[in-house]
């Protein structure tokens, strides 16, 4: 995960992917990093990485409920659209793409 994703903001899969990986590979690596952070009780804030449209990722540890709880704890509003969950107004706090790769 990118070190610039501070509390109160987030990145998307596009930010993680940049120009170096395909979408499938990016998804696999993000999920792997999230699971590793959870298993080792690390401090990687994987829950701050959303899908490109602000949707929560059901493949993260604890599925949607854990990511929802962690984001709500940080003050974000989660909205339901059918069975899918999204962060309200996510585009206002997404990190700038220029900061996604150093």
pLDDT computed for residue 99 by the predictor: 45
Q: How many CB atoms lie within 10 A of CB 26?
A: 18
Backbone angles phi, psi at 12, to 5 degrees: -120, 175
Q: Which residue has the tokens 């994987």?
A: 46
Q: Above 70 in pLDDT, residue 10?
A: no
pLDDT of 16-49, one tens digit each?
A: 555 566 777 778 888 888 999 889 887 788 888 8
SS3 at position 80: strand
Length of the chain: 102
- Mean pLDDT in the chain? 79
Burial class, 93, CB count within 10 angstroms (exposed 0-12 / middle 13-18 / buried 19+): middle
- 16/76 Cα distance (integer angstroms): 21
Domain residue extents for the chain: 11-91
Which pLDDT band holds residue 91 (cuts at 50, 70, 90)?
Answer: confident
pLDDT computed for residue 101 by the predictor: 40
Six-digit token string for 91: 């585009």
pLDDT of 69-82, one tens digit each?
A: 999 999 999 999 99
pTM of the entire predicted model: 0.72
pLDDT computed for residue 2 by the predictor: 46
């Amino acid at each position: 995960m990118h070190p610039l994703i501070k509390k109160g903001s987030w990145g998307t899969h596009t930010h993680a992917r940049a120009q170096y990986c395909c979408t499938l590979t990016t998804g696999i690596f993000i999920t792997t990093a999230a699971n590793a952070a959870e298993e080792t009780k690390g401090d990687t804030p994987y829950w701050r990485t959303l899908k490109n449209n602000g949707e929560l990722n059901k493949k993260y540890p604890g599925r949607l409920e854990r990511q929802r709880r962690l984001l709500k704890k940080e003050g974000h509003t989660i909205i339901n659209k059918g069975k899918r969950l999204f962060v309200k107004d996510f585009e206002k706090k997404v990190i700038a793409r220029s900061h996604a790769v150093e």
